[in-house]
Amino acid sequence: MKEGAAFSSDYARFHTVAREGAPVVSEEVVQCLWFDRLYRGSGLQTASGKAVRVLSPGWWNQGEGPDFRGAQIEIAGTLHSGDIEIHLDHAAWKQHGHHVDPRYDDVILVVVLDTRPPSSPPVTSSGRAIPCLLLGKFLELPVALLADTVVPDDFPYDTPMAQGKCAEICGAYGAAHLLEFLRLAGEWRLLNKARAMGERISRVGADQAIYEMFMTACGFVRYKNHFHALARQLPYERVVQLARLDPMLVETAFLQLGGLLPSLQEDAHPHHVRLSELREAHLSGLRSLPLGWSRSGVRPCNYPERRLAGAARFLARTSKDGIASTLASIWKDASPPLQRRRALEALFPRPMGFWAEHYSWTSERLAKPVALLGAGRVRSIIGNVFVPAALAMARQRQDRTAEEGVHALFAALPKEPDNHIVKIMLPRLFGKAIPLRIDFRAQQGLLQVYQDWCRSNPSCRNCFLVPHLDKDSRVPYPSP
């Protein structure tokens, strides 16, 4: 090429040829191509020749199971809602064991980069054949070039396809219009939690009900069912008895019940020795539950031993008066929201002791102590446990003043750490105009809107929410 001539694309051709025949992209890149619809929008067909129309690629699943959840796909004119699995080739379906895994039974389409049809269609564990889309046949450009245009780290949040129709409304009217609606949805979500808490209080009493919800919150997403099972197996009344006998007995009981207190080794840490002695002296008949503690994808600071130890220390600290009475004493004072929140935060222990300095029984000592329940988890517990419990009890007493105090704290509560759903919903509703400050109430609204409207309809097809939020075509609330 002569100097000064037009720009050349020779390098791109070399790049494609040089990589031809090699596995040019990863499965993650193919997921990006699917999510961002970097393929021809018309003329899609299954490997067997049935017409395909993609209404929504689905929700990007960053956990275990199919790659995308809740997709909306038309196959031969029939609408299907379900999961999508992405692979580079046909062999991966069986190699990964999906054909015997019930978690993949809701897959409605297998998308493979391969351009050749499978020798036989993929099947679910129940034997149902799944249509297959040969994505490589419908790409606008060579896959190697398309791969260079996507940045996997941007997915699934920072990409145009992450935006829903509400983002257009936000762009037209501003974020404040949408935030107002989200806060209403957040208050409705709190009312539902308080209603459920009130029903549980009526059945088992305030202490046991709050204890169960507290333990569930300490378990977070991965271990919430495990922690809830422990709370049902070890009633709060027994927790209080153990705490008053020796505060460390609560931790011992949780770890023993969870199968997380192993036999002593010769070089055991003194803390391990102490808990083993307490188990022998007071809990010799306590059998472990058959719980499986998978640690895949779990950060070491969130290992179940540490979370259980943190929960045990909180319960021991509040055992003198009981958890319900301890919380009630904080709500009773006519304090401003910030002071009340700090009083609730002060109930949680500071990072100290064995578990503040270790991730597991055998891990090296940490350079500095790490809280067993971090600041973000504490905010989650306050907002998702203590606030609904206080509202439930205020409504049972028909105490309007107490309810107003609960509302004031709820409205002023800072946000908890964003979970996967919140991260999806922020760009979906706000587009590029995400507010700098999203509080806890708005977060709860995002979760409620996802549950009510977006989860089952990711394509926004005929969504009632869109005309309601659009000021130019406002749909009023239905008459009672």
pLDDT of 129-151, one tens digit each? 999 999 999 998 888 888 777 76
Q: Which long-range contacts (CB under 8 A, 24 or more apart) does 469-474 make?
A: 469/166, 469/169, 469/177, 469/178, 469/181, 470/169, 470/172, 471/173, 471/177
At 7, the pLDDT band (50, 70, 90 cuts) reads: low
pLDDT for residue 9 is more than 70: no
At 196, the pLDDT band (50, 70, 90 cuts) reads: very high
At 281, the pLDDT band (50, 70, 90 cuts) reads: very high
The pLDDT assigned to 455 comes to: 87
Question: Which of 121-125, 348-352, 377-381, 463-467 bottoms out in mean pLDDT, i.e. has the lowest?
Answer: 463-467
pLDDT for residue 255 is more than 90: yes
Structural domain boundaries in the chain: 23-158, 205-287+300-412
Do residues 61 and 82 touch, judged by C-beta distance below 8 A? no
The pLDDT assigned to 12 comes to: 56
Do residues 348 and 378 touch, judged by C-beta distance below 8 A? yes
At 155, the pLDDT band (50, 70, 90 cuts) reads: low
pLDDT for residue 471 is more than 70: no
Higher pLDDT, 444 or 470: 444
42 conformational bin, left if phi > 0, alpha if psi -120 to 50, beta if neither: beta
Q: DSSP of 42-80, one letter per residue?
A: SS-BBTTS-BEEEEE--EE--SSS-SEEEEEEEETTEEE
Cα Dmax for the chain: 88
pLDDT for residue 16 is more than 50: no
CA torsion through residues 321, 322, 326, 328, sign: negative
Higher pLDDT, 105 or 479: 105
The pLDDT assigned to 447 comes to: 95
The pLDDT assigned to 473 comes to: 52
The pLDDT assigned to 477 comes to: 46
pLDDT for residue 389 is more than 90: yes
User: For 38-93, what is each residue's pLDDT tens digit?
Assistant: 898 889 999 999 999 999 999 988 888 999 999 999 999 999 999 999 999 999 99
At 20, the pLDDT band (50, 70, 90 cuts) reads: very low
Rounded CA-CA distance 54/261 in Å is 50
At 246, the pLDDT band (50, 70, 90 cuts) reads: very high
H helix or E strand, kind and range, residue 111: strand 107-112
The pLDDT assigned to 171 comes to: 87
**Mean of pLDDT values over 317-337:** 95
103 secondary structure, DSSP code: G
Do residues 225 and 301 touch, judged by C-beta distance below 8 A? no
The pLDDT assigned to 24 comes to: 60
Rounded CA-CA distance 155/61 in Å is 11
pTM, rounded to two decimals? 0.79
Tell me how crowded residue 451 is: count the other CB atoms within 10 A of its CB: 13
- Exposed, middle or buried by CB within 10 Å (0-12, 13-18, 19+), for 401? exposed
Half-sphere exposure of 286 (CA within 13 A, CB side): 24
The pLDDT assigned to 334 comes to: 84
Percent of the chain having pLDDT more than 90?
Answer: 72
385 secondary structure, DSSP code: I
CA torsion through residues 138, 142, 147, 149, sign: negative
Q: Which amino acid is at 438?
A: I
At 25, the pLDDT band (50, 70, 90 cuts) reads: confident
- Across all residues in the chain, what is the average pLDDT? 90
